[in-house]
Homo-oligomer: A and B are copies of this chain.
């Protein structure tokens, strides 16, 4: 049956060759071509070579829709993409997503981005699950009581979280959990605090987020732990504010007046930029008179004059681990990896001496 050139409905490119086209050309059955692609070891060497030649000549690539339908898997990873906040120094997503896409490709997956309603953290997931549009999800915006995780777990949808299941830490009964990858924020701020203490500082202040932020409290503990393990006081040296530059500015001013710190460790680069503002306003030189450390190693930290010392999250590594966990979840037999906690590093710049 000579194949007429089929066309896509919108009359774009001619329809690509199919298994049947390759089979005809190679003089074998469709099944043999399928095996050549998926189970080449089943074919005799010369048959395989003949089929491969036909595949090459025709430029054949298996049709995804057909394959997806048959195998019930799409090799697509879903990820809800929330925008970075304007006015904060967080370009986390860009770095993470790129490596995620890269690592996914190596594992044979693509990344499907979707949006959701702002007010409903679970919106968007349901439709993708029911329409079997993706094989699994990456959940990035985890926070206390994170509803996505519970929702997905309840429906037995495979996913990996970037972020610990915080709701579990307080001694909840052990139950089968999803794999997760996270960065040890406390270790990061501890690194930052130790860096200052090693340089001779003894009064190091903390500017962090409001108490309802679990991540913020985690980071705060790195700071307080570092001070306490050297027998240094923390009283009066901590401030909890909104994650904005003005908040950081004001917190720094108050702390400077009331607690006379010689160094600041901040929960974000945004807050640290506020501290730098206050220092400038008072004629204090960052890194010389007062040391400042931020968190996230954002572009702002890299480009601000003199440079801002900052804690850098190993986002590339996180993405690689996420994909590794995903591969485990989706392989048969299924391998559920335990949680992975990665350590950040400290990038030292002018704001803390050097």
Contacts and interface: CB of A to CB of B under 8 A. Distances in A.
Interface in A265-318: 269-270, 273, 276-277, 280, 298-300, 302-305
B334 A305 contact: no
Nearest to A62: B131
A348 interface: no
A84 B91 CA distance: 10
Say which size band chain A's interface belongs to: 35 or more
Interface string A47-75: 00000000000011111111011011110
A304 B245 CA distance: 10
Nearest to A157: B13
Interface in A9-68: 9-13, 15-16, 59-66, 68
A156 B299 CA distance: 39
B101 A115 contact: yes
A291 to B, nearest CB: 17
Copies of this chain, whole number = 2
Nearest to A12: B156
Interface stretch (A105-113, A195-203, A254-262): A105-113
A11 B334 contact: yes
Contact of A9 (B15, B60, B73, B276): B73
A330 B65 CA distance: 18
A91 B84 CA distance: 10
A113 B109 CA distance: 10
Nearest to A91: B91
A86 B66 CA distance: 40
A304 B300 contact: yes
A111 to B, nearest CB: 4
A95 B83 CA distance: 7
A35 to B, nearest CB: 18
A334 B65 contact: no
Contact of A76 (B15, B61, B99, B112): B112
Nearest to A93: B94
A343 interface: no
Contacts of A131: 16, 61-64
A251 to B, nearest CB: 16
A87 interface: yes
Contacts of A101: 81, 113-115
Contacts of A132: 16, 63-65
A273 B93 CA distance: 23
A158 B10 CA distance: 10
Contacts of A330: 10
Contacts of A280: 305
14 contacts: A60-B130, A61-B127, A66-B69, A81-B97, A83-B95, A84-B91, A84-B94, A87-B299, A87-B302, A90-B299, A112-B113, A270-B303, A299-B299, A300-B304
